[in-house]
A = this chain, B = another copy of it.
Amino acid sequence: MIKVQFAARPERWTTYAPALKSAFEQAGLEVDLRRDHPPCEVGYVVYAPNSELQDFTPYTACKAVLSLWAGVEKIVGNTTLTQPLCRMVDPGLTAGMVEWVTGHVLRYHLDIDRSLATQDRWEPVVPPLAQERPVTILGLGALGAACASSLSRLGFPVTGWSRSPKDIAGIRCEHGDDGLVRALSRAQIVVLLLPDTPATENTLNRASLALLPQGARIINPGRGPLIDDDALLAALKTGQIAHATLDVFRIEPLAAEHPYWAHPNVTVTPHIAAETRALTAAQMIAQNIQRGEAGQPFVNQVDRQLGY
């Protein structure tokens, strides 16, 4: 029986424990998964950055620490950790992002909010077809490209924009400053999937928001700093932007007094679009425990010098 400690915030247990147990069983592993094994008996630690576990000294029998998240910046410098550390590379994260972005683009496209708000009258408004609804995706990395292809398959005319030139089948690819002007000027819905770098901060600001057609809608599952929040609030006030769905923020959780919460034309979602997914993450964890038990090298082991 392999003793595995689940070191993450308590509320994760409900989501992850069943997925992990099922993945262990499917992998033929006999695992005792708990939150409170005696540290010296633990074979593997399943770890999330906000866990209370910070001192790995007593974990003398531990063969590896397996992170539930892709980002390991909060643990990689922990000098009490001498065991192999593996980060999460979760195929479910891309799939989940595609589902979330496609769902919210279709929500805007079909005006589902209006359907939900008019449950007292028969007032048919037929939405246009996707082919009449240009969508622009800022950022064409793995996530942006996958979302662009999904929306294109549904018939949306998709423009993608990235800093450097890209070529994706069925997507009108723009790049550079001129390309951003073209990409924004034709977008009824804009999806932000750029990385968070000094160059991308405030990509949507007063000037770039003004380039959009009036009444455009914004979806941000990328990073909070991509948007100048004051500029967005001003554009929502004038109607230049009709609605925004925001999943990420400069400070999370979003402060209770932030104007986004009560704004009638803003939907706040609590950073759920790009979360590691229990099902596929559990399969990755089980695979690494299998490898550890078989004496094989771990996959996605972090280079502690490089930091990832």
Contact = CB atoms under 8 A, between A and B. Distances in A.
Interface of A: 15, 92, 95-96, 98-100, 102-104, 106-107, 109-110, 112-113, 115-116, 119-120, 122-132, 150, 153-155, 252-254, 261-262, 267-272, 275, 277-280
B110 A113 contact: no
Contacts of A95: 129-131, 155
Nearest to A266: B119
B106 A275 contact: no
Given A112-B107, A116-B267, A261-B119, A125 B272 contact: yes
9 contacts: A15-B126, A99-B154, A103-B109, A115-B267, A116-B267, A123-B270, A126-B275, A129-B279, A150-B154
Interface of A: prevailing SS: helix
Contacts of A267: 115-116, 119
Contacts of A280: 129
A59 B125 CA distance: 31
A92 B125 CA distance: 15
Nearest to A271: B124
Contacts of A262: 119
A169 to B, nearest CB: 15
A279 B131 contact: yes
Contacts of A150: 153-154
Contacts of A107: 103, 106-107, 112
Contacts of A130: 95, 99
B99 A106 contact: yes
Nearest to A150: B154
Most chain B C-beta atoms within 10 Å of own C-beta, residue among A122, A127, A150: A122
Most B CB atoms within 10 A — which of A103, A104, A261? Answer: A103
Contact of A272 (B124, B131, B272): B124
Question: Among the interface residues A98, A115, A271, which one has the most CB atoms of the partner chain B within 10 A?
Answer: A115
Contacts of A254: 122
Contacts of A98: 154
Contacts of A261: 119-120
Contacts of A126: 15, 96, 272, 275, 277-278
